[in-house]
Amino acid sequence: MPRLSKIFSRLSAIPLILLLSGCNLVVMAPSGDIAMQQRDLIIISVVLMLIIIIPVIFLTLYFAWKYRQSNKEATYEPEWHHSTRLELVIWSAPLAIIIALGAVTWISTHQLDPYRPLDRIAADKPLNADVKPLTVEVVALDWKWLFFYPEYGIAMVNEMAAPVDRPINFKITASSVMNSFFIPALAGQIYAMPGMETKLHAVINHPGEFQGLSANYSGAGFSNMRFKFHGLSQADFDQWVQKAKSQGSALGRPEYLALAKPSERNPVQYFNAVDDGLYNAILNMCADPSKMCMSEMMHIDAKGGAGKESHENRERLIYDNRDVGPGAVTPVKADGAATHTMQHGDSSMQGMGSMQGMDMSNGSSSDSSTGSAQHQGH
What's the whole-number mean pLDDT along residues 351-377?
40
Contact 207, 232 (CB under 8 A): yes
pLDDT of residue 329: 43
Strand order in the sheet with 154-157: 198-202, 168-174, 134-141, 144-149, 154-157, 269-274, 249-251
Question: Across the chain, where does the E strand assignment appear?
Answer: 120-122, 125-126, 134-141, 144-149, 154-157, 159-163, 168-174, 179-183, 187-192, 198-202, 208-214, 226-232, 249-251, 269-274, 358-359, 364-365
Quick one: pLDDT band at residue 215, thresholds 50, 70, 90? very high
Mean pLDDT of the chain: 82
Contact 82, 166 (CB under 8 A): no
How many whole angstroms separate alpha carbon 105 and alpha carbon 186? Answer: 20
Q: pLDDT for 219-259, tens place per residue? A: 888 999 999 999 999 999 999 999 999 999 999 999 999 99
Q: pLDDT for 15-54, tens place per residue? A: 555 455 555 688 888 999 999 999 999 999 999 999 989 9
Three-state DSSP state, 200: strand
Contact 144, 225 (CB under 8 A): yes
Q: pLDDT for 305-355, tens place per residue? A: 776 667 777 777 777 655 444 444 444 333 444 444 334 434 433 333 333
Three-state DSSP state, 299: helix
pLDDT of residue 328: 46
Range with the lowest mean pLDDT among 93-102, 126-135, 289-298? 289-298
pLDDT above 70 (res 123): yes
pLDDT of residue 111: 92
pLDDT of residue 208: 96
pLDDT above 80 (res 158): yes
pLDDT above 60 (res 151): yes
Quick one: pLDDT band at residue 367, thresholds 50, 70, 90? very low
pLDDT of residue 69: 85
Quick one: pLDDT band at residue 295, thresholds 50, 70, 90? confident
More confident residue, 229 or 367: 229
pLDDT of residue 321: 54
Q: pLDDT for 255-283, tens place per residue? A: 999 999 999 999 999 999 999 999 999 99
**How many beta carbons lie within 10 A of that of residue 270, not counting itself?**
18
What are φ and ψ of residue 133, in 5° steps? -65, 150
More confident residue, 232 or 371: 232
Note the pTM of the prediction, 2 decimals: 0.75
Three-state DSSP state, 14: helix
Q: pLDDT for 62-119, tens place per residue? A: 989 988 888 888 888 888 888 898 888 888 988 999 999 999 999 999 999 999 999 9
pLDDT of residue 342: 39
pLDDT of residue 9: 58
Q: What is the DSSP string of 248-294?
A: -EEE-HHHHHHHTS--SSPPPEEEEEE-TTHHHHHHTT-SSTTSPPH
Contact 156, 270 (CB under 8 A): yes
Q: What is the DSSP string of 84-119?
A: HHHHHHHHHHHHHHHHHHHHHHHHHHHHT-TTSPPS
pLDDT above 70 (res 374): no
